[in-house]
Amino acid sequence: MRVTILGCSGGIAADSRTTCLLLDDDILVDAGTGAGDLTRDALLRIDSVFLTHAHLDHIALLPMLVNMAGPHRKTPIDIYALPETITALRQHIFNFRIWPDYTAPSVFTRPYLAFRPIGVGETVELSGRRITPLPVRHTIPAVAYRLDSGAASCVFSGDTGYHEPFWEALRGMDDLRHLMIEVTFPDDDTGDASASGHMHPELLVRGLANLDGSRPLDVLISHMEPGREEAIMAGILARAGVFPAFSLKRLERGQVYSF
Ligand SMILES: [Zn+2]
Ligand SMILES: [Zn+2]
């Protein structure tokens, strides 16, 4: 399984793209502005999109992806998400006011997308790749994803604050190699972090303390607010000595992870 980071910033700016991960060449996790860097041919290869939640930075380009690829496909693009996320997309985006409802049989002879509701713990297997929603806590219903190639696992947190069941789920994974986790705010902004359901370095350290610190783990920090990356990483690296077996680094656009 190969994960290419198309976007992993908490906001937009030149060279910053919001959340979008490409799995192999046919699956997206979230469809933030990073999706816009794919070529047309690459976009046409996307068969499935797994959404962590309905916030705009994670779904921004989904409507236009479906609009571009839909007419050229024989089958709909599968959109996997929590039922609450699907309801929000139907009500507020694919409603013929913001964007067409590509599932409406009265307008489209064949649907361009298919919503596939999923729940925490329900694994979707696509050509041997196992993708499982994990529990997180955010301001709206949201999930993380475990991406399991059969050889190893990578977990992508999406947006979350500190959530004990998330860390419990990680503790039960023997094959966890990469943990891609959001830390949106620095420690001098804990008020914003807790009001908006996000992490700051102190919470990351609290979470990592749940894991077996003697086993190597690649911890990759995502979703940092543009302009505050150095303060956030400084807060994390100042405490890195507690976890000598863990590698703590920034997740960056353009990186590729194979596992
Ligand atoms: Zn969010
Ligand atoms: Zn976000």
pLDDT score recorded for residue 142: 98
90: CA distance to ligand 2 center in Å? Answer: 19
pLDDT score recorded for residue 106: 83
57: CA distance to ligand 2 center in Å? Answer: 5
∠ at Cα 114 (6, 49), nearest 5°? 15
Q: Which ligand is nearest to the CA of 140?
A: 1
Q: pLDDT digits over 155-200, tens only?
A: 999 999 999 999 999 999 999 999 999 999 999 988 888 889 999 9
100: CA distance to ligand 2 center in Å? Answer: 24
212: CA distance to ligand 1 center in Å? Answer: 28
SS3 120: coil
Percent of the chain with pLDDT over 70: 100
Task: Show me where the domains of the chain are located.
Answer: 2-258
The CA-atom distances, in angstroms, between 56 and each of 25, 99, 163, 191, 210 are 23, 14, 22, 22, 31
**Spatial CA neighbour of 168 closest among 120, 202, 200, 131:** 120
Kindly report the pTM of this predicted structure.
0.97
Q: pLDDT digits over 208-258, tens only?
A: 999 999 999 999 999 999 999 999 999 999 999 999 999 999 999 999 999
SS3 238: coil
Dist CA 12 CA 225 (whole Å) = 9
153: CA distance to ligand 1 center in Å? Answer: 23
Q: Are 170 and 210 in contact (CB under 8 A)?
A: yes
Task: Please check whether the domain covering 2-258 is classified as CATH 1.20.120.80.
Answer: no
53: CA distance to ligand 1 center in Å? Answer: 7
31: CA distance to ligand 2 center in Å? Answer: 11
